[in-house]
A and B are shown apart, each in its own frame.
Chain A
Amino acid sequence: MKASYGLYPDGQAAQQAVNRLRAAGFADREITVLSPQPMEDYEFGRRDKATWMWWIACGGGLVGMATAFGLTWLTETSWPIDVGGLPTFAWWPNLIIIFELTMLGAIVATGATLVVTARLGRPSALYDPEVSDGKILVGIEHPPDGAIPELETALGAVREALVKTI
């Protein structure tokens, strides 16, 4: 068996299913919840909230800043032309390039972090198209054979549950 899961019509029912799975001995990391929109009003919707994304964006910004500084420094000093005694490396105009590439670094780092940390591009067996219609899926992937009856009981004990197995 690849997975067993229940489909629930609202967050309250999904939360009850999650609580019953916990009571049946399943750890949080084993329980999968899929919803059609963010559901932070429920405890299950607040899982996995901690992220380094802000720091990674700052790091991306620093990389962009260093790149811009290096690019302007390298290009202006590699062909130094004296124009009326003006400085070869001019800070004011270079600050514009440095600003733009700093922000570009932060933006690209954020996009890349999303793809990696949200595990995009890595398909999983546990999914049901009914999630797109508003149902909330709560299930367990690759459950141990001995735990299947208890799992199906826990998932089906909640009102309006639709339990499926794949």
Chain B
Amino acid sequence: MNSSRVQIDQRINSDLLRPLMQTSWRFYLLVAVFGGIVATAFVGWMSQVTRGFGITGIRWPVYWGFYVTSFVFWIGISHAGTLISAILRLVNAGWRRPVTRCAEVITVFALMIGAMFPIIHLGRPWLAFWLFPYPSERMIWPNFRSPLVWDFFAINTYLTGSVLFLVLPMIPDFAVVRDKSAGLRHRIYRVLALGWRGTPKQWHRLETAMQIMAIAIIPVAVSVHTIVSFDFSMAPVPMWQSTIFGPYFVAGAIFSGIAALLIAMAVLRRFLHLEAYLHPVHFQNLGKLLLMMALLWGYFVFNERLVTYYGNKPAEMAIFWRTQRESFAPLYWTMVTCNFVLPLVLMGIRRFRTITGCVIASFGVVIGMWLERFLIIVPSLGHKYLPYSFGIYRPQPVEILIAGATFAAMTLLYVLFAKVVPIISIWELKAGEHVPSTLIPPATQEHPLGELHL
């Protein structure tokens, strides 16, 4: 028993530090491919900056196209991590241990990518500092009644909280890397570990800090996407001024976030050989959560459509029919299939709730949620109350390139992160392995890990 305890710790160290200590050709290939895509998109953006916004399809009356769609989408994806991780931490779900860091990383990178889009969307990005609340020479400050300024505060608060929520539990793991490495790597991780030793006081402070931050970060996460929804619902645009937009956006964000997390976990499991840590039961549990969010999303869409239909306002009904029967119908029904039908079938039927089933459903949800953001923005802006403001939007290559490259940017950041930080929290996993046997209920068919009630 005693030697097995040390052996378990050594096995965990060895398995989870392998990606940091060994570099295969696949790593360089991935960095080269995704880095190349990101570099190409950067060139596209520079072209937009030098040649002007005219090379995009964004023009009156549709001023928000692919860029704002991607902004809302990525802020939504960011709800995967910190929110899910915080909830699982608070309820002390034992199965969270291998999942939390994979999820928290998505939050930080998705927020960074999402926060880039308002800058990309600026014709003169070098004036981005005008968004910051500081007094100009005439003492005129940004308007705190503008939802865009609310975005600035909400996103920065969430980003700061998410970075701390991710980084603080990494400190004990940096100490493990410090102890297991030599040379330059040892020196770097010695600095990152901040002299961590593992005294009872340090463990208590870390766990208390994580509890406080979990409690604080949940309302912040909910507020962020509510405030992003205010960008729309505060505007007198048909189909936008709705009281359900806040919860509708939050539900959609969590939905797409879980899908992103499932994809990330499946990829990590496959390529980093983490089969011993990311079990099918983790996918099944998150798959059930995906199913619940699909039903909730379906409820919100039904609610939005039913209320609009009963209201029968001409401007809103025009958008209603444009999306359901006319020019946007193919995109609309693809969205419904991807976000509702696919997860309902794949996650609702137990036989399909496998890792492959979860990944297929998740890809569907990611596509569907991007389309949902697009269908909220473009049809309404292109068909407002009076005919003089009717117009169409045709995305141009530069927008498609930049929006598409953000997926490559996310993958690139994730690959680089997994190269320098253990992607599964080592100390939390060890704590889960050494739970006293009296606390562990026996494994059952329903709960294969046997620790789901902790």
CB of B145 within 8 A of CB of A134, answer no
- A106 within 8 A of partner (CB): yes
CB of A49 within 8 A of CB of B220, answer no
Within 8 A of A (CB), among B111-156: 133, 135, 138-141, 144-145, 149-150, 153-154, 156
User: B residues within 8 A CB of A131?
Assistant: 179, 197-198
CB of A9 within 8 A of CB of B157, answer no
- B436 within 8 A of partner (CB): yes
Within 8 A of B (CB), among A91-149: 93-94, 96-97, 99-101, 103-104, 106-108, 110-111, 113-115, 117-124, 126-127, 129, 131-135
User: Could you tell me the distance between the alpha carbons of A37 and B175 in the complex, rounded to whole angstroms?
Assistant: 12
CB of B6 within 8 A of CB of A118, answer no
User: B residues within 8 A CB of A129?
Assistant: 179-180
| Cβ-neighbour of A49 out of B160, B204, B213 (below 8 A) | B204
- B164 within 8 A of partner (CB): yes
CB of B212 within 8 A of CB of A115, answer no
| Cβ-neighbour of A51 out of B133, B208, B430, B436 (below 8 A) | B208
- A151 within 8 A of partner (CB): no
CB of A132 within 8 A of CB of B203, answer no
CB of A79 within 8 A of CB of B139, answer yes
CB of A48 within 8 A of CB of B206, answer no
- Name the CB-closest residue of A to B190: A123
CB of A113 within 8 A of CB of B6, answer no
| Cβ-neighbour of B157 out of A34, A72, A104, A120 (below 8 A) | A104
CB of B171 within 8 A of CB of A133, answer no
Expressed in whole angstroms, the minimum distance between the Cβ of B263 and any Cβ of chain A is: 28
Expressed in whole angstroms, the minimum distance between the Cβ of A154 and any Cβ of chain B is: 19
CB of B141 within 8 A of CB of A75, answer yes
User: Could you tell me the distance between the alpha carbons of A54 and B214 in the complex, rounded to whole angstroms?
Assistant: 12
User: Could you tell me the distance between the alpha carbons of A134 and B199 in the complex, rounded to whole angstroms?
Assistant: 14
- B26 within 8 A of partner (CB): no
- A38 within 8 A of partner (CB): yes
User: Could you tell me the distance between the alpha carbons of A120 and B192 in the complex, rounded to whole angstroms?
Assistant: 10
User: Could you tell me the distance between the alpha carbons of A121 and B41 in the complex, rounded to whole angstroms?
Assistant: 40
- A33-B199, A57-B216, A107-B217 given; A132·B144 CB < 8 A: no
CB of A132 within 8 A of CB of B207, answer no
- A19 within 8 A of partner (CB): no
Expressed in whole angstroms, the minimum distance between the Cβ of B182 and any Cβ of chain A is: 11
- A131-B179, A133-B13 given; A104·B205 CB < 8 A: no
CB of B153 within 8 A of CB of A134, answer no
User: Could you tell me the distance between the alpha carbons of A141 and B7 in the complex, rounded to whole angstroms?
Assistant: 28
User: Could you tell me the distance between the alpha carbons of A97 and B144 in the complex, rounded to whole angstroms?
Assistant: 8
CB of A103 within 8 A of CB of B157, answer yes
In this complex, the member of B138, B203, B430 whose beta carbon has the largest number of chain A beta carbons within 10 angstroms is B203
CB of A107 within 8 A of CB of B207, answer no
User: Could you tell me the distance between the alpha carbons of A120 and B171 in the complex, rounded to whole angstroms?
Assistant: 10
User: A residues within 8 A CB of B431?
Assistant: 37-38
Expressed in whole angstroms, the minimum distance between the Cβ of A159 and any Cβ of chain B is: 8
- A13 within 8 A of partner (CB): yes
- A54-B212, A72-B144 given; A133·B10 CB < 8 A: yes
CB of B195 within 8 A of CB of A121, answer yes
User: B residues within 8 A CB of A113?
Assistant: 205, 209
User: B residues within 8 A CB of A46?
Assistant: 200
CB of A35 within 8 A of CB of B2, answer no
- A54-B208, A134-B10 given; A13·B216 CB < 8 A: no
Bitwise, A1-12 to B at CB < 8 A (1) or not (0) is 000000001100
CB of B8 within 8 A of CB of A34, answer no
CB of B8 within 8 A of CB of A93, answer no
- B3 within 8 A of partner (CB): yes
User: Could you tell me the distance between the alpha carbons of A108 and B161 in the complex, rounded to whole angstroms?
Assistant: 8
User: B residues within 8 A CB of A150?
Assistant: none
CB of A122 within 8 A of CB of B195, answer yes
- A39 within 8 A of partner (CB): yes
User: Could you tell me the distance between the alpha carbons of A143 and B216 in the complex, rounded to whole angstroms?
Assistant: 43
Expressed in whole angstroms, the minimum distance between the Cβ of B21 and any Cβ of chain A is: 14
User: B residues within 8 A CB of A22?
Assistant: none
User: Could you tell me the distance between the alpha carbons of A126 and B199 in the complex, rounded to whole angstroms?
Assistant: 11
User: A residues within 8 A CB of B199?
Assistant: 32-34, 48
User: Could you tell me the distance between the alpha carbons of A11 and B258 in the complex, rounded to whole angstroms?
Assistant: 37
Could you give 20 example pairs across A and B, Cβ below 8 Å?
A: A10-B5, A32-B199, A34-B198, A35-B203, A37-B172, A38-B200, A41-B436, A54-B208, A96-B223, A101-B153, A107-B164, A107-B213, A110-B213, A113-B205, A114-B206, A120-B194, A120-B196, A133-B13, A134-B5, A134-B430
Closest 6 CB pairs of A and B: A134-B9, A129-B179, A75-B141, A48-B201, A132-B179, A134-B6
Known A107-B160, A124-B195, A132-B179; further 8 A-B contacts with Cβ < 8 A: A39-B200, A48-B199, A48-B200, A96-B223, A100-B154, A117-B201, A132-B175, A133-B10
